[in-house]
Structure 1
């Protein structure tokens, strides 16, 4: 896991001083070593910050090149099938100088061109400079586990693992994209390809970008698509196949030359990871976080799983307030991100990093096995339980099913319950007036296929395109990398995702049952109370971070109100009504403006 960046200027040399400052702004992503290379009379620059995980020697330093210096690489992530690809490439005559997974990308590109993206399995953001073709290639993994941003102004292109790696250059304008502000308030994230800054873009998951030094604009294109199907194997076969795929993914992701552990919450997903880790005979370091006097804290369940599988378990139970943490994290997150689970994720990462350099996480389990609460709500909306005889006698009827799935999904996942038409009431200066009539569900509508899908399949598809990369994976990447910790996500293994998405949802989704295929894998292996407890999200008690006194102190005399961006009467009403979700969204936005001081 690392930080990468680059810059190409067609008209003038790149400033080495500025580029070094850009690179060093990402030092938390790779504190073990830093490197830069310059080409084309300093008009092309590549930079890298290394968090050494595989082959800790100097042979793993980046930027990395092939034998004759015609292909250069900077890479963030892990390629889990690198040993298989290395054997194949050696059979084709390629010579390797390191034991790293990174080097297979260089020789894979030489052998297969962009088709190397079809062969690799892992999490990654990468950049290749082809000195023969004078071309830059960027690529991001299939579901967006690793981030990649870029900025193009007609003559220069920049890219980086985080926005700060780009905006550290004073030539790059920090101009607020007000449409992105509106989108954040609606959805709790800024939907790709936009960012909070005008002109800076996210490379979408499963896409590559090509940029010619000679002429032309950047060209982006997808290289992977997750396609739903209706296969119906019998229950036993489906359980066995899913179990085998997850086990193989876990085993593949245990490869590291540094200490490794697992985040353990006591839920299905992390318990399954521990179960499969234990089956390999590996020594397991597990880490959990909990909260005093909070009924939703799951640290006791985590301890139960740890005892079952004999892990070396570390547990942190918190009782102190976290009111200052969101301000600290505004620097690492670069743009506003709603929700509160990034707070305990950051704290857990900080504690785990004292013991390991790599941790496995259960993120992706709900997407793969349809385990979110909104999946159940949407299924129930389309297939409500039958009204019994007594209900009919009392005149009870079920409401008609929704006619607009994108809108139904938005309603069931909405965080603040704002509508675009509400936003001008909150914000002064007319910044958000242009978005009054924007479709409240546009971000979801664009990912729904023309052919009809079941509610569960439709919801999973939207999860993969929106909530997963924009919220959950962003949360984990920034929280962990702020602590120089690599986090791997075995559930987001390509064969496993493709397998379950090709199944009829009747195979793996059972109304009233949480993640049927995964539950069946865990039966008899984990304590029964793990299987029987209701699903809970990973969060923290609001009393520790969302106190009325603190929220009022930050917002009432804050930047947004003083600059006339936030309506003071509107804020007063929110505080009176204590609309905590809307207030938290504004609180996060306040800290972002204060930290990054963008121009309007």
Structure 2
């Protein structure tokens, strides 16, 4: 795992650009503390920092240049099928100087060009400079596990793994993008291709970008996830097939020349990965976070799984004394980011990195197999349902964000409860909160409108399919993968997600709805519905039922309590500060009203307050600073 960056400037000052790229590379050192280097191939200047994982020798350092000198690669990630590709390329006459997946990737591109992405299985973001065509190729993996930002102006493009690095290019101005911030207030992160800074974009999942020598950009998407319900076999056949594919994914994800460990929360997903990994690999280290507040603490289950699997287990208790950590989080994320589980993810990564360089996680299990409680909304509130007075009123409020042409959309009511469950701010509440610069962005398209557009373009007739596919782009990539990448790489730790293996994901997309979510007479939770139906049946082969069939807890923190206690004074000081009042992106009066109501136990506003807090801290760090 690594950090990548670079500038291609057709008509620019190459001496100045070299200085920018050197500064950009230095800003990525936490992503790759083992080696740092830049290379000049005018008009391209590329930088790389290396966290050595596969072939730790200096021969595998980057940037790497093809034997004919035409192609230069900087690569962040892992290619899990690199050994298979290596043998295929050997058969085509390629020789190899290293045992790294980096050289395999370079030769794969040399053989197949832009189409190489279709043959890659892994998590990646990479850039390749073609000195013959004088063009730069950028791309990102299927599910957005590895980030890539870029800024393009006429004959110049700058790219980097992180915003702090990108902003070392002093020609990029730190101006807030109110359209991005408007959507952030609903979805807790800035969804790609938007960025919190004007003039900067993120590559979307599975997107390719080519910067040509005439300064033009060409963009396309090489893969789109789609649920098909094409699997027609029995449940027993599905269990065996998923088990087989997961075993193969675990096998490839365990390939490493440095120590590996396991993120173990005690939930179904991480517990299943732990059980399968230790069965194949033998004794491993496992790591978990605990909380003093019992309602959020899964450590007892993590310890039970660790004992069953025979891991050497490490545990850390999260403290509400997080004020010293907040500035680091704000700076590392680079954009306003309001998933509060970034805190325990950072603390977990910090502890894990002291013992291993790579950790396997259970990320992606909920997203693929239907694990979130919000996925129940299509069953509880189906399209056409209009019998719930509370939801009718809520529907009217949310529809105020929509343009007239969408207010009678038949999908609208069916998405309302899901949207409300998922959103931080929405509807009239969001409109009243936002000041004019943000409110004007609603005219370009509300977040609910964006969701409905996505749902209408989806060809599936199932609302669950529409929701899961929407979340692959707007939650999995923009929030979950961003959270894990920044928190882990900020601590020089690589995190791998076997559930997001191409083969496992492809099979999940083929599953009918009943193998993801269904009514169950044995379920004591979720209004009698069972989530992750098939995955839990696979887990029965490895884990006791008390681990599998218990209420889902997630990886949250006791934020509501913390706002009433340890964070209270800090929140009041922040929202009463002159900078917040003068900025006036959101209503100071409404913000303080939300805080007052929360402190007095009149309402639960902690998620919204956290979003507003992280937005203001970001503005103080990046806009004021």
- TM over 0.5, yes or no? yes
Counterpart among 531, 535, 540 of residue 523 in structure 1: 540
| Preserved CA contact (<8 Å) 1:33 1:49 | yes
Shift of 1:544: 4.2
Given the superposition, is the C-alpha separation of residues 545 and 28 from structure 1 closer, same or farther in structure 2, using an over 3 Å criterion? farther
| Preserved CA contact (<8 Å) 1:64 1:103 | yes
Q: Does 1:490 align with 2:498?
A: yes
| Preserved CA contact (<8 Å) 1:56 1:257 | yes
Structure-to-structure mapping, 1:506-585, within 5 angstroms: 506-511=514-519, 512-523=529-540, 525-542=542-559, 543-544=561-562, 547-557=567-577, 559-578=579-598, 579-585=605-611
| Preserved CA contact (<8 Å) 1:229 1:502 | yes
Counterpart among 18, 21, 27 of residue 20 in structure 2: 18
Q: Does 1:330 align with 2:330?
A: yes
The aligned residue for residue 188 of structure 2 is: 188
The aligned residue for residue 223 of structure 1 is: 222
Q: Does 1:174 align with 2:174?
A: yes
Provide structure 1 residue ranges, at least 5 long, that are not aligned to the other structure.
388-398
1:527-584 per-residue CA deviation (whole Å, 9 max, x = no partner) reads 3321231011101122346632221122211522133444332233222222322221
Given the superposition, is the C-alpha separation of residues 521 and 84 from structure 1 closer, same or farther in structure 2, using an over 3 Å criterion? same
SS of 1:497's equivalent? Answer: helix
The aligned residue for residue 461 of structure 1 is: 469
Q: Partners of 2:310 and 2:137 in 1: how far apart? A: 45
1:499-528 per-residue CA deviation (whole Å, 9 max, x = no partner) reads 121222223332322311111112153233
Counterpart among 432, 446, 450 of residue 443 in structure 1: 450
Given the superposition, is the C-alpha separation of residues 423 and 520 from structure 1 closer, same or farther in structure 2, using an over 3 Å criterion? closer
Per the normalisation by structure 2, the TM-score is: 0.89
Structure-to-structure mapping, 1:275-286, within 5 angstroms: 275-286=275-286
Which segment is superposed worse, 570-579 or 513-522?
570-579
Which segment is superposed worse, 373-382 or 234-243?
373-382
| Preserved CA contact (<8 Å) 1:191 1:470 | yes
Q: Partners of 1:240 and 1:187 in 2: how far apart? A: 36
Counterpart among 28, 31, 43 of residue 30 in structure 2: 28
| Preserved CA contact (<8 Å) 2:71 2:131 | yes
1:140-190 per-residue CA deviation (whole Å, 9 max, x = no partner) reads 000100001110011210111011221112211111111111111122121
Shift of 1:243: 1.1
Counterpart among 412, 422, 439 of residue 404 in structure 1: 412
| Preserved CA contact (<8 Å) 1:321 1:545 | no
The aligned residue for residue 399 of structure 2 is: none
1:348-379 per-residue CA deviation (whole Å, 9 max, x = no partner) reads 00000000000011110011111110112322
The aligned residue for residue 394 of structure 1 is: none
Shift of 1:320: 4.5
Given the superposition, is the C-alpha separation of residues 447 and 567 from structure 1 closer, same or farther in structure 2, using an over 3 Å criterion? closer
Q: Does 1:595 align with 2:621?
A: yes
Which segment is superposed worse, 581-590 or 565-574?
565-574
1:322-366 per-residue CA deviation (whole Å, 9 max, x = no partner) reads 233222200000001112100000000000000000001111001
Q: Does 1:499 align with 2:507?
A: yes
Given the superposition, is the C-alpha separation of residues 50 and 281 from structure 1 closer, same or farther in structure 2, using an over 3 Å criterion? closer
Shift of 1:402: 6.9
Given the superposition, is the C-alpha separation of residues 271 and 433 from structure 1 closer, same or farther in structure 2, using an over 3 Å criterion? closer
Given the superposition, is the C-alpha separation of residues 372 and 402 from structure 1 closer, same or farther in structure 2, using an over 3 Å criterion? farther
1:386-406 per-residue CA deviation (whole Å, 9 max, x = no partner) reads x9xxxxxxxxxxx9x973278
Shift of 1:111: 1.2
Given the superposition, is the C-alpha separation of residues 262 and 441 from structure 1 closer, same or farther in structure 2, using an over 3 Å criterion? same
Q: Partners of 1:558 and 1:285 in 2: how far apart? A: 48
Greater helix percent: which structure? 2
Q: Does 1:156 align with 2:173?
A: no
Q: Partners of 1:337 and 1:467 in 2: how far apart? A: 12
1:206-228 per-residue CA deviation (whole Å, 9 max, x = no partner) reads 11111112x04111101112232
Given the superposition, is the C-alpha separation of residues 508 and 436 from structure 1 closer, same or farther in structure 2, using an over 3 Å criterion? closer
Q: Does 1:147 align with 2:147?
A: yes
| Preserved CA contact (<8 Å) 2:263 2:362 | yes
Shift of 1:31: 1.1
1:434-480 per-residue CA deviation (whole Å, 9 max, x = no partner) reads 13444341332343335342122122111212110011110000110
| Preserved CA contact (<8 Å) 2:183 2:447 | no
Provide structure 2 residue ranges, at least 5 long, that are not aligned to the other structure.
388-394, 396-408, 520-528, 599-604
Shift of 1:380: 2.1
Q: Does 1:313 align with 2:333?
A: no
Q: Partners of 2:478 and 2:74 in 1: how far apart? A: 23
| Preserved CA contact (<8 Å) 2:124 2:141 | yes
Given the superposition, is the C-alpha separation of residues 381 and 407 from structure 1 closer, same or farther in structure 2, using an over 3 Å criterion? closer
SS of 1:315's equivalent? Answer: strand
Q: Partners of 1:326 and 1:522 in 2: how far apart? A: 37
| Preserved CA contact (<8 Å) 1:262 1:360 | yes
SS of 1:597's equivalent? Answer: helix
Per the normalisation by structure 1, the TM-score is: 0.93
Given the superposition, is the C-alpha separation of residues 572 and 598 from structure 1 closer, same or farther in structure 2, using an over 3 Å criterion? closer
1:261-309 per-residue CA deviation (whole Å, 9 max, x = no partner) reads 0100111100110111122143211000101132221011000000001
Q: Does 1:91 align with 2:97?
A: no
Q: Partners of 1:573 and 1:323 in 2: how far apart? A: 23
Q: Partners of 1:241 and 1:524 in 2: how far apart? A: 13
Q: Does 1:6 align with 2:9?
A: no
Q: Partners of 1:564 and 1:266 in 2: how far apart? A: 43
1:46-76 per-residue CA deviation (whole Å, 9 max, x = no partner) reads 1101011111111111000111211110000
The aligned residue for residue 373 of structure 2 is: 373
